[in-house]
Structure 1
Amino acid sequence: MNQPPKGAPTGDPATIVEADVSGPYAGPVAGLPPQTGLTTDTAVFTEAYAVIPRTVMRDIVTSYLPGWDGMRMWMLARPLSGFAETFSQYVVELAEGGGSDAPDDDPEVQHAVFVTGGELRVTIDGADHLLKPGGFAYIPAGTPWRVRNVTPGPTGFHWWRKRWQPCAGLDRPDPIIAREQDLPPSPMPDTDGAWGTTRFMDPADLRHDMHITLVTFKPGGSIPFAETHVMEHGLFVLEGKAVYRLNRDWVEVGPGDFMWLRAFCPQACYAGGPGRFRYLLYKDVNRHAGLWPNR
């Protein structure tokens, strides 16, 4: 069993995550199921996609990192040869006062965080920012930063990491601080507002080689064709339910479930209602395809 280091979140993990860390957004179940529980769920890993349902995000599969205190995380995506290779994605839980003054020692890696519960102080290049649920921060590669939970009790956030790909004539992007509540979704063409995208990065800014967005479907909204493209995806469901097409399979997903798609995996969906269906989306963008051996 994965034992927490000194200072890691303690207490009843299920209560911590359900009551506080997720806030208005779905997150891991944590805890452990009873011995009488059944092992049947929707977890699957294929050559084209993976589904990591909320029900398997338990204490026993958490991870810890050097240089952090009062921290544990669920590592949902990491580069795998022959699968998705551009990014890692974590769901992080911090105990009261927990955090790090050196979250990552790789100067070539860029970062993005999205807060789901509590209050997180993010310091980017010496400037402090207080992020509450719905708060987003982008930290360019090579920029000093630190994070600290400043709320009584735990806080939680999503964390994306990707090695930034330099491109001739383009500087590194600027830091971004935003709130999803302040960014109205941009409706997708010809959908009458049934499908919208909240964009944290400007899609016209080619300095960015990854986009983090928040996708929202009204009940009955859909992706009405099988998207098949070069971008890799990580999709974390924050709210609602849908039937999602992954390669040739249709999978029912709901709050707290995670989908991980390699390049060219066909995808589509129908939002099931009765409320809206929302998920955080990662994708790699705006660069040439890597060519072996010099990727």
Structure 2
Amino acid sequence: MTEKNKYYSPTGGLPPQTQLLSDRAVLTDAYAVIPKGVMTDIVTSSLPFWKNMRMWVIARPLSGFSETFSQYIVEITPQGGSDRPELDPNAEGVLFVVAGEMDITIEGEAHHMTEGGYAFIPPGSNWTVHNNYDENVRFHWVRKAYQEVEGLGLPEAFVTNENDIPVTTMKDTEVWATTRFVDHTDMRHDMHVNIVTLQPGAVIPFDETHVMEHGLYVLEGKAVYHLNQNWVEVEAGDFMWLRAFCPQACYAGGPGPFRYLLYKDVNRHMPFIRPRN
């Protein structure tokens, strides 16, 4: 791994009129693939109480599909930011910086974040984020409605960088590893946002089929994914959105590592859909 990772992030723009319309974008009842070429100027959104920002919304709750989270790629130009970034007091968040640098303050404690920077923000936190620098900053913002459990407190806020986190290799292999930002045995956390790294030629050697929903943003490299019996090529800048129990496996294509930012919901009972009285 290099000292400074080179994460892909969108820069907007529009394709030329000569470009073919067909692309790799697909939405099925089990998964979606949003390729990097889709993230143009005309599909961005904005939020109240922000200055000099735009965002690509790459996941949002949809009934019967991925229901637990939303995910944005936020771009802030110089002197932009927000003193009221989160309006939902029940929403927790993870920020992961993929380009540039920014300043974040959580409950009065200031932090400087650069590429690879990771922040966990508990629900109800008082926080701000600003780009006080000369270049645009882009970061992922993963949001989830926190599921409180009686007898468990809220997890604490923290800011770190992936380069300061030890990598955990999968059992009996050195070519498949995970960068875990929180202790997976800490039941206060109801979501994990990790980085998975597969070396060239490595595989996830079986079709994972599980209850967790996934958002997978490809930070580096390319691979072939097996999704619900379909083979799909993905590369840096693509996003995959997988509903619960969607079968999934992959081959890492090389020549460099294949790395992705992974969301999953964890550590909670499955909610029931209760009949109305």
- Asked whether 1:203 is paired with 2:184, we answer yes
For residues 158 and 204 of structure 2, what CA distance do their matches in structure 1 show? 29
The correspondence for 1:254, drawn from 235, 243, 257, is 235
- 2:148 aligned with 1:166: yes
Superposition RMSD on alpha carbons, in Å?
A: 1.0
Q: Which residue of 2 aligns with 1:9?
A: none
For residue 108 of structure 1, report the CA deviation from its aligned partner. Answer: 0.5
CA shift for structure 1 position 184: 2.6
2:197–2:260 CA contact under 8 A, matched in 1 = yes
- By how many angstroms is 1:204 displaced? 1.1
Aligned equivalents of 1:125 and 1:135: distance in 2? Answer: 18
Alpha-carbon shift at residue 133 of structure 1 (Å)? 0.2
CA distance in 2: counterparts of 1:117 and 1:143, whole angstroms = 25
Using the TM superposition, name which of 131-140 and 149-158 deviates more. Answer: 149-158
Deviation at 1:264, TM superposition (A): 0.3
Is residue 50 of structure 2 the alignment partner of residue 68 of structure 1?
yes
Cα distance in 2, alignment partners of residues 105 and 62 from structure 1: 19
Q: Give the secondary-structure state (helix, strand or coil) at the position aligned to 2:53.
A: strand
Q: CA deviation at 1:248?
A: 1.2
Partners of 1:167 and 1:54 in 2: CA distance: 38
Q: Does the residue aligned with 2:218 lie in a helix, a strand or coil? A: strand
Counterpart among 213, 228, 231 of residue 232 in structure 1? 213
Structure 1 Cα separation of the partners of residues 248 and 171 of structure 2:
18
Q: Aligned to 1:181, what secondary structure does the other structure show?
A: helix
Using structure 1 for the length normalisation, give the TM-score.
0.90
For residues 293 and 153 of structure 1, the distance between their equivalents in structure 2, rounded to whole angstroms, comes to 50
Q: How far apart in 2 are the matches of 1:250 and 1:167?
A: 39
1:267 to 248, 258, 265: 248
CA contact (8 A) 2:118 2:161 kept: yes
- The Cα shift of 1:114 comes to 0.3
Kept in 2, the 8 Å contact 1:29–1:55? The answer is no
**Aligned partner (choices 263, 271, 274) of residue 290 of structure 1:** 271
Query: Structure 1, residues 9-67: CA drift from partner, whole Å, max 9, x if none?
Result: xxxxxxxxxxxxxx821012510000010012110000000000001110000000011
Identity of aligned residues (%): 59
Deviation, structure 1 residue 167: 0.7
Instruction: Indicate the residue corresponding to 1:222 in structure 2.
Output: 203
Partner in structure 1 of residue 94 of structure 2: 112
Q: Does 1:138 align with 2:136?
A: no
Once superposed, which parts of structure 1, at least 4 consecutive aligned residues long, lie more than 4 Å away? none
Contact residue 230 and residue 263 of structure 1 kept, 8 A: yes
Where in structure 2 are there 5+ consecutive unaligned residues?
none
- Give the total of aligned pairs: 271
